[in-house]
Structure 1
Amino acid sequence: MARPPRVLFLERRTYRRRRLADLARLMPVIGLVLLLVPLLWQEGAGGMPTSRAILWIFGVWVVLVAATAWLASRRLESELDAQGTPRPLPEADRGARR
């Protein structure tokens, strides 16, 4: 006899925390891909000059720093309540942290 499908319910705060962690893990990969884009540009007739490549690399670096700071602030914000004290972890996360 087949069992009915089990419905998985994740608390919204836990789900968002995990998605933010996933995005934080992807940031180095995204950064690497964006930093390698100037290698595809060919200098010469109608190509991009080296100065543009340097500006691109610096711009990507600034965006990565800002995005990482935003992710960190979102994580800190989600872990603090209105008074600034840490919220207790849900039961599901307590076992994973030990």
Structure 2
Amino acid sequence: MSTIPPHYSDRYVGQRFNKALHIVQHLSPSSSFQPTKEQKLELYALYKQAAQGNVDTQRPGIFDVVGRAKWDAWKKLEGLNSLEAKYRYVEVLLRVAVEVCI
């Protein structure tokens, strides 16, 4: 079931996603606006699902802890369509902003 408001066009969701990507890609490491590790993992997985669809690689080995965590997070989104992943990406970033500002 989609969580995208019915009045949001595909184009609008895409524009918001691109703006959110730009923000995340240009975050300064010294900025107070920083997602938690869990939020970074969620953003990564949503980005991958939006950009590439379902995970199509083998799960990394047990000694690749970071790669494995990323793969697992992405795998959990299997079946989620690109537009919904883009919408959720923006929502996660907005949640980060609210948490930082409160």
- TM normalised by structure 1 equals 0.28
Structure scoring higher RCO (CA < 8 A, sep ≥ 6) equals 2
Structure with the largest fraction of helix: 1
Structure 2 length-normalised TM:
0.27
Which protein is bigger by CA-based radius of gyration? 1
